[in-house]
Structure 1
Amino acid sequence: MTMTLADGAVDDGVMGPRGDRPKRRVFTAEYKARILAEYDAAEHGGRGAVLRREGLYSSHIVEWRRAADAGARAGLGPVSRDRRDREIEELTARAERAEAELARTRAALDLVGKAHALLETLSEGAEPTKRSRR
């Protein structure tokens, strides 16, 4: 099994449950733009050589060109979102909800404090009641 550490990958020789499957490649927008430009600049016979050298299929070129036409460089970016980005969004939403709840709690405490002060003021102004002895 290959483990990724901070300083690089380490292969301990143990196969994981999906170790025999190929890894999905992720292409950067810069790489896609560079390959599209190189592919378009190549002559008809040289286009296949570019694809073979890079280990790509013609469908990659078709998809990348369609994405580039639709949304320029934004369309050339990876389709899937990074797990860290989703986690950051979730934590940001959670923090916003906690801050809203904190604001409501502070407002409630402020209201309770004012009610307490009012009741103290009223009780100080009232005459003490006399208890009858029997």
Structure 2
Amino acid sequence: MTFTAADLRAVPADDGPVSPRADRPRRRSFTAQYKLDILAEYDALTEPGAKGALLRREGLYSSHLVEWRRARDAGALAGLDRQPRVGKRTPEQIENDRLRARAERAERELAKTRAALEVVGKAHALLEMLSESADTEPRSKK
């Protein structure tokens, strides 16, 4: 399809500020009580077409009911309520975590350095002992 100059003039140039997420649908969440109520109502229906009408009225899919029924039967429906989200960490918490990690790295490096110094100290003591014993023993003539 091609546009003519007249077609382009007919289209408004700007609709105003619209956020990029304004037209996106929001994910729905259901409480555990709602899920139990819908399952009970769905299971009580016996008339032909009534179950489909319930799903259409509530805007649900049969897969919702399958998942909810499995959760109910497993005893996990109480845990399906929306859990409170953990808030973002504050800049102070981020800085504390960074500094804590830095301190832990420094402690590990310090432990390595101490171990190395201990080894060097023992090697030095051993070399001193060997040097002293070599100085006191007469050398054999060949």
Normalising by structure 2, what TM-score? 0.46
TM-score (norm 1): 0.48
